[in-house]
Amino acid sequence: MEFGLFSNNRRPDRSLGEAWDRDIFEIVAADKLGFQEAWISEHQTPAELIISKAAAQTSRIRLGAGVRPLGYYHPLQIALEANAADQITHGRYMLGIGHGFHARQMEWRGRDPADTRAMVEASARLILKLWNSDGPVDYDGPYWTGKQMILQCPPVQKPHPPMAIACINTLGSVQLAGALNLIVLTGDFIPLARLKLFGDTLVAAQIAAGHNPSRKMIRSTRVIYVAENDKQAREDMRESYEATIKWEIENTPHHQVERIPPGGSLRDITYDYLVDTGNLFIGGPETVRKRVEHHFEASGGFGVMNFHAGRDYATPEKLARSMKLFMDEVAPKIRHLDPDAGAARAAAE
């Protein structure tokens, strides 16, 4: 298992410039500590702008767009910008793709939200074709056309940077990931049972498409915070996460439904409930180790455990300390977890 960040910027009390600087501070801290990758949301503007600034302050960590809404752009533009980002990061770029957050963001661009899913698949296939083609590409599709398209800027990584797709509710994106051999990105709110279903669906789709089946392609995300002990960790996060819950219930209630306690309502989703039930991985090193191990086993496994980041969950320095405690005291005990080990054993037998 490797470790990463899902930098999902939302810091409503700050200017965007300051908020992005704080996101980059977390990414720089993760880079120093040996995290493998960071995925950066495209909320207001292409993640590649932030990736470019983060690349200048980091040396090892891989930097991914998390994710580019493909319905907004011509696929040639996405591929070109991906290659440019791969150059500017010296081969550390990853292209995450997805549908976008609000249907109205498609409408703003004169697009029909009903076409989103089909556009994502068509664009992904065309981007891969552009990346894998030796010569100019002609395309005449329902959403875009292009004549003699070439990528004037080549990527560093060969044949091309890794591609990932955001998977939230339905299995369509997971099946596409399996068919095209993409990384599966999942958010912090994805329930355990759905993550397991995603894994099983991915492996089936990988096999059906003739790819090597591997759950290492799955990125799981959770809110993770480690302090010296459980009590300190719980109190460090209380104020900010209580505000987060309030915002999420008001703005993304559809993502919260599966967090509702049995027999309760949205109002019953409290900070202590989420910590106690392991929805949030908050505690001392031993508690967090148990949380991640359980999450890994019950979900069928995944390749990278991402910290949900880009939020003012605590001060930047406390969050950096949490990451360091995790890498010093938790990671060495769980890094050996291999989601494909069981399948490999079964195949050997």
Q: Which residues bind other proteins (CB under 8 A)?
A: 21-22, 25, 29, 32, 228, 315-318, 320-321
Q: Which residues pair with 165 in a beta bridge?
A: 97, 184
Amino acid at 162: P
Q: Which residues contact 270 (CB under 8 A, 6 or more apart)?
A: 242, 245
Residue owning tokens 């191990």: 293
- Neighbouring-strand partners of residue 307: 5, 222
Q: Shortest approach of other proteins to residue 258 CB, angstroms?
A: 34
Please, which residue, 228 or 242, has the CB nearer to other proteins? 228
Kindly tell me which of 308 and 321 has the beta carbon lying closer to other proteins: 321
Distance, in Å, from the CA atom of 33 to the CA atom of 330, rounded to the nearest integer, reads 13
- Closest CB to other proteins among residues 85, 320: 320
Contacting residues for 243 by C-beta, under 8 A, at least 6 apart: none
**CB 315, min distance to other proteins, A:** 5
Nearer to other proteins, 223 or 320 (CB): 320
Shortest approach of other proteins to residue 227 CB, angstroms? 8
d(CA 332, CA 292): 13
Whole-number minimum distance, CB 289 to other proteins, in Å? 20
Q: What are phi and psi of 44, to 5 degrees?
A: -110, -30
Cα–Cα distances in angstroms (integers) from residue 347 to residues 192, 208, 340, in the given order? 26, 17, 11
Backbone angles phi, psi at 17, to 5 degrees: -60, -45
- The smaller minimum CB distance to other proteins, of residues 255 and 318, is found at 318
Name the minimum Å distance from CB 320 to other proteins.
Answer: 7
